[in-house]
Chains A and B, each alone.
Chain A
């Protein structure tokens, strides 16, 4: 267990170092990125629509082993055996797939197109911890009054490891489309989940690959969710 803890610590340190170069200030970017070299032209071409993205601070981990199939006694034994691993995974996942990484992953996509929205300025917002706000409020969560406005909220970030099904990352998302002009709108909820093969890394050398895999699977999960949305 000590070895496992030290490998997590090393991995977290490596990711922390990787993040040190990633100054991800919350600046608006257009989606898709303008191809012009002239700033004025870029400003003129900035879409009127806005897509505000709220990443999550969440990083949950659930690890279950073979004993989970043996009733309450097995479950107790299994939970006890995996306690430290769950904590380690949760702490590592929280660090590895925190808001900075989510933003990094989502910035690489044409979010508006994926969500079947018109070309939009994408604005990354500060994560909101209170789930009563992120999963229930039908109103706008930013101060923007743009008439063409939508929100994408990441509401779950769950790593699981199961004895039979292996490792996976599951995410839940919400899209709120305010183009109807109303102050409250429906919450279009959905999820995406895909398998992992590298996460969590066992050594520091594996951390970079595991981090990339997490980001790729997060992207895949988002696109899986986005694929279920219908154009309005």
Chain B
């Protein structure tokens, strides 16, 4: 049996556009264990969704292409599989749920139909058995009157309930890995909390690994064992939740954490934000990509690209000055 469930090595996914080649994911490597809950955080456009889509091989040529890299899943390199074999993996071994539950389900088929379709595809059962599995899946995600609701259409469900249906669909075939791409972003805060705790319980029960992609640090804090922070197509820091939240090593992570409003802080006049805007992915800055926005950047940061290395504090970080800076003692915004 393989050591890690998922082993991504030097993944690069590029998109060809009129203005040039967009290097959305540029050298991303990470490993996920069975049953682990990994959070992937970053701003819009940092490449976290593209990474997930690349793992599922949902990137469509000719617009986008996985240029290089390997994705080892359960012993096999996903990038070397045929399309038919990959279809087997999708939904059956790796399930993915998306951001907007309002549009994720086909409006002209009942929820039951869509669930049964998935089950029949990946499991060798009869139609009535599949129906039973579907009903029990709906029960698991706490949809009341599951049996009757099977005959309902997606538009008869609220946003939160549709997302539950999506989770049910994703977990119905007992996948080893669940990729959730911003699953609660489109929902209100209360529903968010419900969905996250539901996912927590279900993943625990079945020992399903979860790759949770989000830009919301609050969501990640309550849910994930380990967190990796992405910026401009690369991973800049990776560690346990404790390490990241209490002792960030990378200035970007430090900036992100500082920009959160927290109940335990004294009131300030203004919110701190990481100044500037994300760089162009067609023509990324030389050296460290975060350099232009970094309060601590020096000459070396503008020359050489930092590599993800082990920091003595426990997590991995990609910053030239990580060992010099003691970020946890600094208050964000008072750098000059």
Task: Please indicate whether A and B come from the same complex rather than being unrelated chains.
Answer: no
**Chain B residues packing against A (C-beta within 8 Å):** none
**Chain A residues packing against B (C-beta within 8 Å):** none
